[in-house]
Amino acid sequence: MFEIFVRTHFSSAHYLRNYPGKCEFLHGHNWEVEAAVKTEKLDAIDVGLDFKEFKKALFVIMEELDHKNLNEHPAFANCNPSSEKLAQYIFGRLKEELQTNPNVSVSRVLIMETPGCGVVYTE
C-alpha cells in the first residue's frame, strides 16, 4: 500500500459559536493542510497519483476557503468551522474531486490552525 500526500495552506477567518473564550470572536489563521490518498496500484510509469493531479484537486478546495470568513461558507451554516469540521469538509471535497480516479481513495486530511495544534480526519 502506498500513501501519497500533498501539503498546502490557506488563510481564513472564523469564530466558534458558543465557545467560552477568545475564539468566540472573529480571528484568522494560516491553516496548514496535509492531505493523503492511498493506493495499491501504480500506473505504467510506477506512479500512484500524479502530484500535479493531486495538487490541482486540492487547489480547487483551497480556493473555496482562502481569504474567506468560514462562518459564511455554506458548509458551516449549521456547525462551527472548527479544525475538526474543516478537516472533515476538506476530506469530503477531496473525495468528490478525485472520484474520477478509481485507483486512489482519500485516506486522511490533517489540518493545523497553529504550529503544533491540529486534527487528522479519516473515515
Q: CA-CA distances (angstroms) from residue 12 to 3, 22, 64, 84?
A: 28, 17, 10, 15
What per-residue string of b and e applies to 84-95 under the rule 16 or more CB within 10 Å gives b? ebbbbbbbbbbe
| Active-site amino acid positions | 23, 67, 113
